[in-house]
Structure 1
Amino acid sequence: MTTVLVTGATGTIGRHFAQHLLAMGASVRCLTRDRNRADLPSGVEIAEGDLRDPGSLGPACEGVDAAHLITFAGDDYAPIEDGEAIVSSLAQAGATRVTLLVGDSEESPLERAAKRSDLEWTALIPVEFMANMLDWAAGARLGRVEEGFADVPSTVVHESDVASVAAHVLLRGGEHEQALWITGPEALTVRERVRIIAEATGNPLTLIALSEAEVQRRWREYGYSEDDISYMTGVKTEPPLASTVPTDTVHRVTGRAPHTFSAWAEEHVREFMPASRD
């Protein structure tokens, strides 16, 4: 049985990832900084540790065959710096394959270390998680969504589909030295996504379209650096091809079609419903 270490286990795709791995017959070990706060499926092994402290990873890495690595951590999503030590710990433990969840245009230290190593590596690049739309939930319960770049399309992808691609790559291989753009089945604007959520809930929603300057001001208030703001603005104003044209990655790697945004909205109806209708 293949043993897989899942880092970022309490993040956007972690629980989905563990479920896919378990369903495919793997032994799953999830890394978390605090086991008491980890809401993970039954059947997984929980190991405490922190990727930002490679010295804490020894027990987590012991006996693993493969690992899923996030390349950033913390509330500020800062790149994980000591990539060499992490890769070395995995290699010494006997791991042979890793997936790397990539969230920035610049190659991270962990990516560089994996690419220089003897590990089989695959970079996973989700265009935009459907789960990001949960940021709209509080406003949607009041009948409105405030968002910028309202008419810019994005091939938003279900977090479970990203997890499924990662699980298939780690257990079946075949994507060594590849960077996989992962998308949903269609490119949807903010305006279209708001309409789909309104249809799923039966709750009329008003879109308040923010200007580029208003969006950037909010990002500054959230604590993003000017470099981050420049990058995120560029993604919206000059989106990569995969943001506007869906890829076949999910179907090609997993053998099934990716989830639609309508399906995701139906799954999350309760989060968007007004309090009086809960």
Structure 2
Amino acid sequence: MILVTGATGSVGRHVVDRLLAEGHTIRALTRNPGPARLPEAAAVVQGDLAEPRRLAPALDGVEAVYLMAMGGAPADFVDMARRAGVRRIVLLSTGDVLDDVERQPDAVAELHGAFERAIERSGLEWTFLRPNEFAGNSLHWAAQIKVGDAVRAPYGGACTAPIHERDIAAVAVRALVDAGHDGAKYLLTGPQAITHAEQVSLIGQAIGRTLRFEEISPEEARQAMTRYAPAAIVDAVLGQLAAAVVRPAEVTRVVEDVTGRPARSFFEWAIDHADDFR
């Protein structure tokens, strides 16, 4: 039995589908099973990672867990998993986490780093998935694109290597079911590093329009972003983008090495999600 947390999320849903397609027995954890619309073959259970001490029924009989870094109580979740007999955890972390440092660079890295530390100390088998940037992060431009031809955002020159959520899920599945991934910290990237301004242009090509990137100041962006996200998270995101302007993302071959298939390009992601921008 494999437990998939965040089963309705952008990555988790693809993990569910891939595991079922390969014939594995899974349990899908979601906070709200009613509207989840998960496959009938998945055993859907209600649960919240913020309350790990109440997850004993969800963990019963589970051998491996796909884990989102959510809930803020990693040590409690790991303790529950170990008590339930879980052998392996595959954690969706972030490429911002640094190894061998006393303090992580920002709030996002600190959150994920806390999960990594708890899992490393657990004695369980583990694999950490560290995406450079989700291609899906560009969905926050969708509202602007639906009503105009300009995306107003900061750091158009931020050069990242966005990865398709399907590729993250593909690596996660291999780490969950195959041997040879214990102790791996996989930096996951798309096949090339591109700027945010180039991402906007590629989205335009995918939907048959000419789009442009209009630079705004980090201060203006921060003011808008803190309306819907904690200030510490906003500052972390803006700091990561600023760093990516001067230090383009490192591109890896992890997706191809683990799955045997090259990582999908950002343009392929944009084609897959074209309707989200129309």
**Do they superpose with TM above 0.5?**
yes
Q: Secondary structure at the match of 1:36?
A: coil
Distance change in 2, residues 1:212/1:241 (3 Å)? closer
Q: Secondary structure at the match of 2:227?
A: helix
| CA apart distance, 1:112 | 2.2
In the aligned structure 2, how far is the partner of 1:60 from the partner of 1:12? Answer: 21
Q: Secondary structure at the match of 1:90?
A: helix
In structure 2, the partner of 1:181 is: 187
Q: Secondary structure at the match of 2:193?
A: coil
Distance change in 2, residues 1:29/1:241 (3 Å)? farther
In structure 2, the partner of 1:169 is: 175
The answer to whether structure 1 residue 191 and structure 2 residue 182 are counterparts is no
Distance change in 2, residues 1:257/1:46 (3 Å)? same
In the aligned structure 1, how far is the partner of 2:92 from the partner of 2:44? Answer: 20
The answer to whether structure 1 residue 84 and structure 2 residue 75 are counterparts is yes
In the aligned structure 1, how far is the partner of 2:117 from the partner of 2:213? Answer: 41
In structure 1, the partner of 2:140 is: 135
In structure 2, the partner of 1:38 is: 36
In structure 1, the partner of 2:166 is: 160
| CA apart distance, 1:242 | 9.3
| CA apart distance, 1:94 | 1.9
Counting aligned pairs with the same residue, the percent is 35
Q: Quick check: 207-216 or 120-129, which moved more?
A: 207-216
In structure 2, the partner of 1:253 is: 258
Q: Quick check: 51-60 or 37-46, which moved more?
A: 37-46
| CA apart distance, 1:241 | 10
CA contact 2:159–2:245 (8 Å) conserved in 1: no
Out of 54, 57, 74, the residue aligned to residue 55 of structure 2 is 57
In structure 2, the partner of 1:105 is: 109
Compute the TM-score of the two structures, normalised by the length of structure 2.
0.88
- Any gaps of 5 or more consecutive residues in structure 2? 95-107
In structure 2, the partner of 1:29 is: 27
Compute the TM-score of the two structures, normalised by the length of structure 1.
0.88
- Any gaps of 5 or more consecutive residues in structure 1? 74-79, 274-278
Q: Secondary structure at the match of 1:105?
A: helix
State how many pairs are aligned: 263
Distance change in 2, residues 1:258/1:42 (3 Å)? farther
Q: Secondary structure at the match of 2:28?
A: strand
Distance change in 2, residues 1:121/1:243 (3 Å)? farther
Q: List 4+ stretches of structure 1 deviating above 4 A.
A: 240-243
Q: Secondary structure at the match of 2:77?
A: helix
CA contact 1:196–1:262 (8 Å) conserved in 2: yes
In structure 1, the partner of 2:233 is: 228
Out of 119, 124, 130, the residue aligned to residue 124 of structure 2 is 119
**Residue-by-residue CA offset, 1:92-137 (whole Å, 9 max, x unaligned):** 2221110111143225443222111121011111111111111111
In the aligned structure 2, how far is the partner of 1:240 from the partner of 1:120? Answer: 36
Q: Quick one: which amino acid aligns to residue 4 of structure 1?
A: I
**Residue-by-residue CA offset, 1:252-274 (whole Å, 9 max, x unaligned):** 1111101111111111222222x
